[in-house]
Structure 1
Amino acid sequence: MDQHTLFKYFKGNATIDEEKQILDWVDASNDNRKSFQKERMLYDIALFSSDKQQQKQKRIRIFSLLQWSARIAAVAVLVIGIVFFMREYRYNQIAQLQTVTVPAGQRAQITLADGTKVWLNSKSTLTYASNFGREERNVELDGEAYFEVAKNKKIPFYVNTEKNKVRVVGTSFNVCAYSGTNEFETTLVEGIVDIYLAGNDKPITRLTKDEFFGEYNGKYKKTVLSSYEYLRWKEGLYCFDDSSFSCILTRLEKYYNVNITVKNPKVLDYRCTGKFKEQDGIEHILKVIQKDHKFGYTINEGKDSISIQ
């Protein structure tokens, strides 16, 4: 590691990328760590000596060279410890956040460090720290995800969304919470979950097996599910059971990355039931729904905008 970059780091002028590069270099070997400490000591001695020159005329020197050197070494070690700790903290908190983003029309499945399996739906983002599972298990979700959480009674698992927080130990459940929608849904398949408002430590409800909880613009809904068909999105199946056309269109926008406008609001009240494969495409889905409900639609040339008449 070149001295110029290290001195920028010691002065606090290094960029985040340079900080990451230095910290990775320090962690790579004991020799690198010793070189880092040596350069830090030289830097601190230079600063200390500069201050001494400015104060030389005003103070009487009372320490021997050996005592002075020992003091510098002690100061240098202390500064090294403090600075390294603070830099490493910033690095862990900023540079080591892991983010998984799923584009529209796609799905993804990942396994976290603790063994928890996560399926991410279209246009969803999951964020977590690189040291996930060591002392805490926190993830941030923007979108929809299905979790099979590895059991660990000592370290609860938290899913943080824009408006709410879900706490579990070892559980299978689904969370749907796209930012900006003012909607939050949790479906519990196995285990127990507690649901909180974001920033609040008092749960607003607890779910047990087969229960569903939804919050829509501040209004709550809790019920028992008779079927988990709609959770088959993680298999590439879109299932709707007596769902409003409005709800279906909202989901199709996310699944296929299109903008849908409706000229006649009455069609939004249609109720629809159906099961579709992801690869069927949005036009096939609309044509099937047309068999039971009267409406027309047009698609622009770019196929990224649909108008419902």
Structure 2
Amino acid sequence: MHIEDKKKEVVALLEERERMDTLEQVSEAVNVIDLVDHVDVSGAFVKVNNRLPGDSKWRLYVGYLSKAAAILFLPVLLFALWQYYFSQGGISGDQISMQQITSPPGTRSQIILPDGSKVWLNAESTIRFPIPFSRKTRNVSLIGQAFFSVQKNPEVPFIVKADNVQVKVLGTRFDVNAYPDREKVGVVLARGKISLTAENQEHTSSKSVILHPGERAVVDRQQGDIQLSEGNIEKYIAWHNGRLVFDETPMKEVARQLELWYGVKVVIEDPEILNYHFSTTFENESLYQVLELLKLSSPIEIDYQPAHYDEGGKKTYSKSIVYIKKKTK
């Protein structure tokens, strides 16, 4: 098919979507969600990866391209659904359904919520919300990390629940980092104002603070204590713009960020390496490029083991593994 033919096909598709009414758009969105849920992304990637030449550089570059292509944009027409229900004069309990979206390892997703708010969902993170939102509150639950750009609506507060931490906003831009494997939850405010409430693990006491732009709150999951700090927040929120920022970041955290960013497993073979700190910014670099730059900036050696997919009885998937050890003389 020639380029001109492809252009005509795209134009025809866009014109067809413009003619759809709200119900037809909602139906299309449901079909898209169903297709996404049934795609075996890991298996497909590994099958392609296993057919590549044995050169690890090839595999790393293809891995990078697949992650770049997998920055999913999911404007699933939820806003249209919300408008439709409210135009019908309200909703009943049995008309509300819960939508759950998860970003796989090495993938960052952009989502449009029913009210038009935008969410950037980091790798290995899950967001859950009702379709549609209620008239009184816009409730969202989060496991992992997400950056929010919330549509302003003073009459309907936007509430993010992450474990024992609750963030309440009217309209703002902020980041919540609440991965289950971490002892603390981080909340960073880029614009606007938010109210943060944290409970202790026993739910016997709670504390609340107001955050202003440029502030970061760190919440202890066990005690519910909140520590506030002010400064450069760019390193905490740059990920949603495709940049990986390290600022005197210890190796343990660097390894964790690489695992999330590229969907690999990082093994530190020499404990002494954990004392190393890194300050640099990566933007659209492949895993191979990042590892090479880390090798140049510190006395370390890196081995890479590609992912593989066992199509036997259990059909197990194994992530790529990056081994990091101290460089020998």
**TM-score for both structures, normalised by structure 1:** 0.64
Contact 2:216 2:233 survives alignment (8 Å): no
* Whole-angstrom distance in 1 between the partners of 2:106 and 2:230: 29
Given the superposition, is the C-alpha separation of residues 135 and 201 from structure 1 closer, same or farther in structure 2, using an over 3 Å criterion?
farther
Deviation at 1:205, TM superposition (A): 2.3
**Residue 98 of structure 1: how far off its partner (Å):** 0.6
Query: Could you tell me which residue of structure 2 aligns to residue 42 of structure 1?
Result: none
The CA deviation at 1:147 is: 0.7
The Cα offsets for residues 252-304 of structure 1, whole Å up to 9 and x where unpaired, read as: 111112121212222122111111124x2223212212222212222224261
* Other-structure match for 1:48: none
Question: In structure 2, which of residues 242, 246, 249 is the aligned counterpart of residue 240 of structure 1?
Answer: 246
Equivalent of residue 266 in structure 2, options 260, 268, 293: 260
Q: Measure, in 2, the Cα distance between the counterparts of 1:161 and 1:178.
A: 9
1-side partners of 2:299 and 2:281: how far apart?
19
Cα gap change, 1:215 to 1:268, in 2 (>3 Å):
farther
Contact 1:185 1:213 in 2 (8 A): yes
Specify whether residues 144 and 112 from structure 1 end up closer, same or farther in structure 2 by C-alpha distance, changes over 3 A only: same
Q: Given that residues 104 and 256 in structure 1 are in contact (C-alpha distance below 8 angstroms), is that contact kept between their aligned partners in structure 2? A: yes
- Counterparts in 2 of 1:243 and 1:217: CA distance versus 1, 3 Å: farther
RCO higher in 1 or 2 (8 Å CA, sep ≥ 6)? 2
The 5 Å alignment of 1:174-189 reads 174-189=175-190
- Does 1:294 find its partner at 2:299? yes
Alpha-carbon distance in 1 for matches of 2:236, 2:167: 20
User: Contact (CA 8 Å) 1:230, 1:240: kept in 2 or not?
Assistant: no
Q: Cα distance, 1:222 vs. partner?
A: 2.3
CA offset digits 1:105-157 (Å, max 9, x no partner): 22222222222111111222110011214232110111111111112222211
Change (3 A) 1:138 1:223: same
Any unmatched runs of 5+ in structure 1? 1-87
- For 1:87-118, what per-residue CA distance to the aligned partner results, in whole angstroms no more than 9, with x for missing partners? x74x456xx11111112222222222222111
What's the offset of the Cα at 1:225? 2.0
Q: Tell whether the 8 Å contact from 1:113 to 1:133 is kept in structure 2 after alignment.
A: no
- The 1:133/1:147 distance shift into structure 2, 3 A limit, reads farther
Alpha-carbon contact 1:114-1:133 (below 8 Å) kept: no
Q: CA deviation at 1:216?
A: 5.2
**Which one has a larger percent helix, Structure 1 or Structure 2?**
1
8 Å Cα contact 2:215/2:233 also seen in 1: no
Q: Please name the residue that 2:166 is paired with.
A: 165
Cα deviations by residue, 1:10-30 (Å, 9 ceiling, x for unpaired) = xxxxxxxxxxxxxxxxxxxxx
Does residue 275 (structure 1) correspond to residue 297 (structure 2)? The answer is: no
Q: How does 1:1-309 map to 2 (within 5 A)?
A: 89=93, 91=94, 96-198=97-199, 202-215=206-219, 218=222, 220-278=226-284, 280-302=285-307, 304-309=320-325
Shift of 1:235: 2.0
Whole-angstrom CA distance in 2 between matches of 1:271 and 1:137: 40
1:110 and 1:206 map into 2 onto residues whose CA distance is 26
**Structure 2 equivalent of residue 79 of structure 1:** none
Instruction: Supply the AA of the counterpart residue of 2:208.
Output: I
Query: How does the TM-score come out when normalised to structure 2?
Result: 0.61
Deviation for aligned residue 1:241: 1.5
Shift of 1:229: 4.4
CA distance in 1, matches of 2:298, 2:221: 28
Root-mean-square deviation (Å): 2.3
The letter of the residue matching 1:144 is: Q
For the 8 Å contact 1:151–1:170, the answer to whether it is kept is: yes
Unpaired runs of at least 5, structure 2: 1-91, 308-318
